[in-house]
Amino acid sequence: MKLLVTGGLGFIGSNFILHVLKNYDDFEIINVDAELLGSNHENLTEVKNVPNYEFVKGNITNRKLMEDLISRSDAVINFAAESHVDRSIADADPFLKSNIRGTYTILDIIRNQKKRFVHISTDEVFGSIENGSAVETSNFNPSSPYAATKAAAELLVNSYFVTYGCDVVITRCTNNYGPRQHVEFDIIPKAIALIQQNKKVPIYGTGKSIRDWIYVDDHCEAVMLALQKGKSGESYNISASNEIDVLTIVKNLLTLLDKPLSNLQFGEGRPGEDLRYSLDSSKIRRDLGWMHKIDFAEGLQKTIQWYLENENRLEDLPKNTLSSTPWKDLS
C-alpha cells in the first residue's frame, strides 16, 4: 500500500513514518510537508534514502499538487496542521488556512478519486472536561482558535461522509510526548531544553491544568489500526489514561535532571486555558484491538534520553520559549 502522509516532517507525522517503515514491510510513503515551524528533515534522516520513502515539499492547500500526490497513493493520513495554541491566540489566520482550507482541499480530491482518508484530530475539540471523560459522541466545546479550527475540520470530514459517502475515519488523541518534538510546541521538550540550559521554566498560572499523556509510538500504532481496520464514517478516541498536571510534569523533569525546584517561574494564566482534558478510548480498544504499551515513567525516560543524545535540538531556543506569556510575545 502507498500512503500519502501530510505534515510528515513534524513531530507526530515523522514518528508515524518511522513507525510504519520499521514495522510494516509492504508500505510505501510519500511525505508532503510545507517545511513550516515544527518541520525538521533531521526527524527522518534514517529513512531519507530508502526506496519506499519519497519527500515532496508543498502545502496541502495546493490543489494541483495534492491531486497529483493523491492520484499516486492508496490512502491519505492527514497530520498537517498548525497546532501551537499560543500562536493561534496571537494570530488565528494560518490555522484557518491550514486546518480548515487544507482539510477541505484533501476531502474534495478524495471525493473524486475514491481514496481512504484518515484525519488526525485532537482531544482539544471537546474543551475542558469537568467530570468523567469525553467519548466519541460528546459535544464539541473548543476554547482556543486552534481547537476551533480542528473542530471545524472534523465537521467537514463528517459532512463528506454523510453527503458524498467518502471513505473517511477520524482519530482524536490526547497530548503526545516523545522524541522529535519542536521545543516550542509543548511543555516536556520546552522544559528539558530550559533545564539543560539552567534557565527558569515558565508555568502558566498555577500549573494545575491536567493533560492526558500518551507516548507518540502508541499513538502511531493506533493510527495504523484506524487506517487498516477503522470503519468508514467513524471517529476513534486515543488515550493512555495518564492524567497528570503540568506542574507535576515539570517538577518530575527537574528532579530527573537533578535541578532544583527553584527553577520554576510562575506567570499569568493563558487566555481560554482548559483545566482538564480526558478521553475515553474504550471504543478503539474494543473495536480495533488497540492498547497502549508504554507507561508514562518509561516514556518520559525515553524522551529525556533522546533529547540528551540530540542536544542540537535543544539549542537556539526561540525568545518566546523563555516567556511566561508567549502568546503576547508572538503577537
Q: Which residues are catalytic?
A: 123-124, 146
The region that residue 132 occupies, defined by phi over 0 for left and psi between -120 and 50 for alpha, beta otherwise, is left
Beta bridge partners of 264: 201
What is the pairing mode between strands 243-245 and 210-215? antiparallel
CA angle 246, 252, 254 (to 5 degrees): 105
Retrieve residue 49's grid coordinates: 534514502
- Separation between Cα atoms, residue 97 and residue 190, nearest integer Å: 27
Three-state SS string over the chain comes to CEEEEECCCCHHHHHHHHHHHHHCCCCEEEEEECCCCCCCHHHHHHHCCCCCEEEEECCCCCHHHHHHHHHCCCEEEECCCCCCHHHHHHCCHHHHHHHHHHHHHHHHHHHHHCCEEEEEEEHHHHCCCCCCCECCCCCCCCCCHHHHHHHHHHHHHHHHHHHHCCCEEEEEECEEECCCCCCCCCHHHHHHHHHHCCCCEEECCCCCCEEEEEEHHHHHHHHHHHHHHCCCCCEEEECCCCEEEHHHHHHHHHHHCCCCHHHEEECCCCCCCCCECCECCHHHHHHHCCCCCCCHHHHHHHHHHHHHHCHHHHCCCCHHHHCCCHHHHCC
Q: How many CB atoms lie within 10 A of CB 205?
A: 16
